[in-house]
Structure formats: structure tokens, C-alpha cells
Amino acid sequence: MKVSVFIVNPFAENCYILWQEKGSDAMIVDPGMADSGERNAVDKFIAENELKIKAVLLTHQHADHILSAQYIAEKYDVDISANFADNMLGNRLREQVAMFGLRCNSEPLVATRNLEEGESLALCGENIKVLNVPGHSPGGLAFYLPDSGCAFVGDSLFAHSIGRTDLPGGDYSTLINSVAEKLLTLPDETVVYSGHGESTTIGDERRYNPYFALNYK
């Protein structure tokens, strides 16, 4: 599995494209491109590598992660897969855009496929396990790829930090429990791809993340 990252929008959100090789199936995690320039860069990458987009997966429905989800879904004729517990955020994309001070037009997001903990998605030659990680938002998800040894965790866990919990629907103790129970229990060598910033590993976060290190020494 190849992981290509596009750092997009004023919040430096990580939009990931997961693919195998030229001409293979591919999926996009959190397409937060804010303008046509950012969308064109992603489209160009897809075209140059002749990728067949099979899914849009959303870790959660904050504006900076979903700005181009509708665009990608329509252009490549795929579902928008997300946890519907976050639909109250996606439905209010315009209000979110205003709240975050973004300058872009956005129709409300309509997720078309609900993903729940316990589901396994067979996509692009991978077995993707869906994990519920609420706390940063009510419908937060992580996507764990055991065969590739990596997880896409959105804004629940960052390198040596965690996501904010002061936005609508956020809850600190829920997030702490989610990360401790669902993510830090994955194998140490699992590579963690977060919604912002550098990648890390589960082992590194178990040892050095200040929100959890004391509990795991």
C-alpha cells in the first residue's frame, strides 16, 4: 500500500490517497481541498497514476476534512463513507466554514454510506477495519489496515498530542477513552497517519504522548 499525502487548506489538513501501483484501485481519506488549485493537484495525481478511485472515507465531518468530499464523490462516482453520528456537522458545512473563517463556497455534505465499528471494508486489496473513536467529534472514526500496519486516525490522535475537544459535540474524557482503548491497543509498530502533522507510531505514542504516557509506564 502506498500512502500519498496532500497538505491542504489553511488548516494544513492531511488528505491521503491510498493506492497500490499505477492503474490500481485507490481511495481517498479526508478530501479537504479548499479551492480549485488544491483539487487540481489531487486530480492530476490521480490521472497521472491512472488510479481508479473506489471510495471516499471520512474520519469525521469537520469542515477542514470534507471540503471536497462532494466534489470527489461526484467526479469519480463513489459513495461518501462516514459515521452518520457526525452528519449534524456535515449538514452544517456552511456554518462551519463561516465559523472557521474559511473563504469558500460549500454545499452541505451528504454522507451516503454509514460506517460503524466492527465493519471490515475490502478495498484496494486491503482489509480495512473501522474503529469508532468519538470524542473529537461524536462520529469520529479510525481506519486500521492490519496487513499494511497502519491506521488513519483523523484528529483523535496526533504525534505527542490529541485532538481538541472544545468544538460542538467534542468531549475530553470520551476522546481519552477512545484513544486509549481503540488506538493505543494496536500493535506498537502500527504507523499512525493523523489529520494534521507528521505521522507517528502507536508504540511512540504509548510511551511519549503526554496525555497517556503516565498510564502506560
Binding site for Zn ion (CB under 5 A): 62, 155
Minimum distance, C-beta of residue 127 to Zn ion, in the bound complex (Å): 26
CB of 187 to Zn ion, least distance (A): 25
Nearer to Zn ion, 58 or 202 (CB): 58
Q: Residue 211 CB, nearest distance to Zn ion (Å)? A: 17
The C-alpha cell that represents 157 in the structure block = 490522535
Give the residue with the Cβ less far from Zn ion, 60 or 124: 60
- Residue partners of 95: CB distance under 8 A and separation at least 6: none
| Residue (155 or 205) nearer to Zn ion, CB | 155
In whole angstroms, how close is the CB of 64 to Zn ion at the nearest point? 7
Q: Which residue sits closest to Zn ion, CB atoms considered?
A: 62
3-state secondary structure 60-82: CCCHHHHCCHHHHHHHHCCCEEE
Closer of 96 and 200 to Zn ion (Cβ): 96
Beta bridge partners of residue 191, listed in sequence order = 150, 201
Beta partners for residue 201, in sequence order: 191
Between CA 62 and CA 86 the distance in angstroms is 9
CA distance 163 to 214: 18
